[in-house]
Amino acid sequence: MLENTGRTELSSLGEFGLIKHLTQFIEIKNESTIKGIGDDAAVIDYKNKQIVISTDMLVEGVHFDLAYMPLKHLGFKSVSVNLSDIYAMNATPKQITVSLAISNRFSVEAMEELYSGLMMACRKHNVDIVGGDTTTSKSGLVISITAIGEADKEDIVYRNTAKEGDLLCVTGDLGAAYVGLQLLEREKKIFMESPGVQPDLEGNDYILERQLKPEARKDIPVLLKKLEVKPTAMIDISDGLSSEILHICTQSELGCNVYEEKIPIDPSTYNMAREFNLDPTICALSGGEDYELLFTIDSADFPKIKANPDITVIGHLTHAKEGVNLITKAGTSVTLTAQGWDSLLKK
């Protein structure tokens, strides 16, 4: 693998030299990858499968801050957030393309670090890098990844196919990535004001990892298939739980009751939220970047999933006229609104 020693200017390799240098250790893992990097286009053969494709872009200063985001973690995260969309379709990712816009403040060694994270994520998910593009940026670093996956036609799950009476389920726990970001931002501010002060991050590994190195839920489509449960609708939680619930309800033309007491929140998330004088429930509803899966199932399938510690039923789908509501711990009903991440709104 690549080893970082010293600093090599990007200009010493040029665009094509850099691409060759960064991709020299890529190995093809999937039979469907007929031709990867090295020609005008990749060649992929999926035979009788349905193809799912998703693209996400990460922009420095908007989606990440290199003051506290290691390049290796950034590479891993940039792959994870894309593959999460493929898993949300109940599909299996197979290939990605990677496009980078790089300013001259980065060295070859820095790009090696980024690529080592990219390749680590690809190995974990058995995904091939089959192409992309590299260009100059006059501002900061931009990463654009397109993920390509496959599924049998009958296995694909959409957002608009939930039914009245379905149960609303979520994987893992929520809000950790958001409070992890608050901690990183706090320590950055302290450092900027007092450069000699070391960041106080001890004991917060879980929430920091959820922000810096999120894991796409590769295991959930496999688990659901093993349990013989096909979701009636599914979406990944990138912009906050409330936003994703509203996506499913709007596209399925349904209402929903979500129960606050059922929303899974890790104790470390709860404690850190309180330290910042934040409501842990609001962090879970609006924080974003959890990359868990939100899905609906037929109520008849509840016995199949009820004993699984990684799946929580948090509500049920209702008639559209009943609206989308959060039932608080006090038993009152509050209209659920989308207050999660929106990259086009002024912050």
Whether pTM > 0.85 for this model: the answer is yes
Which residues of the chain fall below pLDDT 50?
Answer: 1-2, 341-347
Q: Are strands 333-335 and 324-327 parallel, antiparallel or unpaired?
A: antiparallel
Question: How far is residue 289's CA from residue 80's CA, in Å, rounded to a whole number?
Answer: 11
Residue located via tokens 């193809």: 51
- All structural domains of the chain, each given as residue ranges with its CATH number in brackets, are 10-155 (3.30.1330.10), 167-335 (3.90.650.10)
Shortest CA distance to 235 belongs to which of 90, 335, 93?
90
Residue 315 identity: G
The residues that bridge with 258 in the sheet, in sequence order, are 315, 326
Residues 6 or more apart in contact with residue 139 via CB below 8 angstroms: 60, 61, 103
Residue located via tokens 């379709």: 89
* CB-CB contact of 96 with 122 (8 Å): yes
Residues 6 or more apart in contact with residue 183 via CB below 8 angstroms: 201, 204, 207, 208, 272
Q: What is the pLDDT of residue 347?
A: 42
Shortest CA distance to 180 belongs to which of 58, 64, 344?
64
Residues 6 or more apart in contact with residue 292 via CB below 8 angstroms: 170, 171, 172, 173, 174, 217, 236, 237
Q: What are the distances in angstroms from CA 56 to CA 80, 97, 99, 140?
A: 10, 11, 11, 17
Tens digits of per-residue pLDDT, 217-260? 999 999 999 999 999 999 999 999 999 999 999 999 999 999 99
Residues 6 or more apart in contact with residue 48 via CB below 8 angstroms: none
Q: What is the pLDDT of residue 199?
A: 80
Tens digits of per-residue pLDDT, 200-215? 888 999 999 999 999 9
Give CA 220 to chain center in angstroms: 14
Give CA 134 to chain center in angstroms: 23
Question: How far is residue 182's CA from residue 88's CA, in Å, rounded to a whole number?
Answer: 27
Buried b / exposed e over 237-273, threshold 16 CB at 10 Å, is bbbbbbbbbbbbbeebebbbbbbbeebbbbebbbebb
The pair phi, psi for residue 303, each rounded to 5°, is -60, -25
Q: Are strands 92-102 and 128-136 parallel, antiparallel or unpaired?
A: parallel
Question: How far is residue 64's CA from residue 58's CA, in Å, rounded to a whole number?
Answer: 7
What are the contacts of 219-225 at 24+ separation with CB within 8 A? 220/87, 220/171, 220/293, 220/310, 221/87, 221/90, 221/91, 221/92, 223/308, 223/310, 224/90, 225/155
The total number of residues shown for the chain amounts to 347
Q: Are strands 50-59 and 255-259 parallel, antiparallel or unpaired?
A: unpaired
Question: How far is residue 314's CA from residue 323's CA, in Å, rounded to a whole number?
Answer: 16
